[in-house]
Chains A and B, each alone.
Chain A
């Protein structure tokens, strides 16, 4: 047996290798082309990725659309039918997003239900304590105060997220984020009643191309995990649809309403009725696959 102590100060060179491997880092998405036109500094950079919490998107959507539709959330009864780690991770992302959605839209009867679902699934994933009893009690005390609900749910979501990141559960976190992204898109897309390219909600859906690209980049850090690869390939198919949407870039005209600086060009991603329908269908098909209980037969046309 080796009787050696850890030399804390002497291994900067070796340490750097592990430092880069240990954090949520990626040097670039696998299978994609990376180019630097105006900047070439990223090649050797340590890259870290963060995703916005669903709360951010839902707050924006709430201002546009007002009401949330509880029937659009994933059925809580499916919880016990997710048995594999990947399915649990994906659906943890789905349910956590549903919880944040219910909280954002003050669907009070659903909040406690989805919190318990997240707690159970989180425990199964090794995240015991991320959605804890004291948070649940706090949530139940505040069920009549909508503003507090989204804060408490958002905090619980962040706790789970941080835990996965700090415990090097990168592939699991990737799947959780993928499940959450798909569920967010499902919930927001269903807020669109009639397609109109100028509709603020349609534009919000179209501009989620940036969050999808971000997610795909993030997943590129795990090029050998088969479950991450499988989900990434499904997301890339959705990105192919997004790539058919014309993108208009132009310098911003005028000043910000708040007087703050404006950085970069204005970008508009233009959805066509056909493109929006294709996107919506692809999202629904992927979501159906994600939330389908593992003991349920696959639909013939899926």
Chain B
């Protein structure tokens, strides 16, 4: 194929997908809000286009002393009826290597990922509310299964990229009781 044609096709594809990203950017506004009206929309809420079967993660910060609600909106015709969600804490851990020749020990740091919530273990729950007792770096990892061949009652799409919105809400942790 002519090189110019390849570049042109690639540019077209880029343009289509950039446009898809833009179309998805407000998708989070369609997610179900918490029934607790004290929650306020968090600025880290985000929409994006995602590919079936490929994990997408939104990296955020949660602050100590805040309660959070995270919910999702997605294009079911492409991504399927339910999505797999995991919350992964990213921890910077030190590895100390003792020296063998009397020189100071060397320390290297690595990001370690710890799964702290998995909706597969929570009956496939499509939202979560939690209290942050420490400030943490967190990745909200979403994997869309897509629509099965015979599932979805005619919903199946020939696309494998669809919109996903992640709504994040927060409020200062309230006290309950007396």
Contacts and interface: CB of A to CB of B under 8 A. Distances in A.
Query: Do A and B truly interact?
Result: yes
A56 B161 contact: no
Given A39-B115, A207-B64, A258-B175, A15 B16 contact: yes
Interface in B79-113: 86-90, 92, 94, 107-113
B21 A210 contact: no
Interface residues of B, number: 78
Contacts of B9: 4, 7, 11, 14
A263 B116 contact: yes
Interface of A: 2, 4, 6-9, 11-12, 14-16, 18-19, 21-23, 28-29, 32-39, 41-42, 44-53, 55-57, 59-60, 63, 154, 157-158, 161-162, 166, 168, 207-211, 213-214, 217-218, 243, 252, 256-268
Contacts of B32: none
Contact of B110 (A23, A35, A258): A35
Contact of B51 (A18, A19, A63): A19
B35 to A, nearest CB: 13
Nearest to A26: B59
A257 B110 contact: no
Contact of B114 (A45, A218, A264): A264
Nearest to A264: B116
* A-B complex: 3 closest residue pairs judged by Cβ atoms: A6-B12, A256-B131, A50-B44
Q: Which of B22, B63, B112, B130 has the most CB of A within 10 A?
A: B63
Contacts of A211: 61, 135
